[in-house]
């Protein structure tokens, strides 16, 4: 039995993951994007979140400059957003918050 049973009313709800690959959780070396998606989904299942999962990743042009990486993300069903350069160091967080708000609508 999961320690997260308090979420039982939401166990079949849509789950959205917002992943900042530059500042918070970088892409692990040697780990394929499909594996990352499977790891994320399995960890959500441990917490009794068993509904559909949507993953949105955020990174700089440098992070997503490789077309092969973008293709792998796309094939794994992970959406990508390239953060604008310059401006505030929080611009990535602002982009994520706007996307979170839009998902809540």
CA 33 to chain centre: 11
pLDDT of residue 3: 61
Sheet hosting strand 78-82, strand order edge to edge: 15-20, 53-59, 78-82
Range of the domain at 29: 5-104
Q: What is the pLDDT along the chain (105 residues), one digit of tens a residue?
A: 456 555 667 788 889 999 888 877 777 776 767 788 888 898 888 888 888 999 999 888 888 888 888 888 898 899 998 887 776 777 778 888 999 999 888
> What are φ and ψ of residue 78, in 5° steps?
-100, 120
Residues 6 or more apart whose Cβ sits within 8 Å of residue 47:
2, 4, 7
Structurally, the chain folds into a number of domains equal to 1
Instruction: Output the DSSP codes for 65-100.
Output: --HHHHHHHHHTTEEEEEPPSSS-TTHHHHHHHHHH
């Amino acid at each position: 039995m999961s320690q997260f049973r308090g979420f039982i009313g939401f166990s079949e709800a849509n789950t959205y993951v917002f992943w900042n690959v530059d500042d918070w959780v970088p892409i692990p070396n040697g780990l394929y994007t499909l594996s990352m998606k499977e790891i994320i989904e399995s960890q959500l299942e441990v917490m009794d979140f068993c509904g559909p999962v949507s993953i949105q990743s955020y990174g700089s042009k440098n992070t997503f400059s490789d077309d092969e990486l973008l293709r792998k993300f796309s094939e794994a069903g992970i959406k990508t957003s390239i953060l604008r350069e310059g401006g505030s160091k929080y611009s990535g967080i602002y982009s994520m918050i706007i996307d979170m708000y839009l998902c809540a609508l």
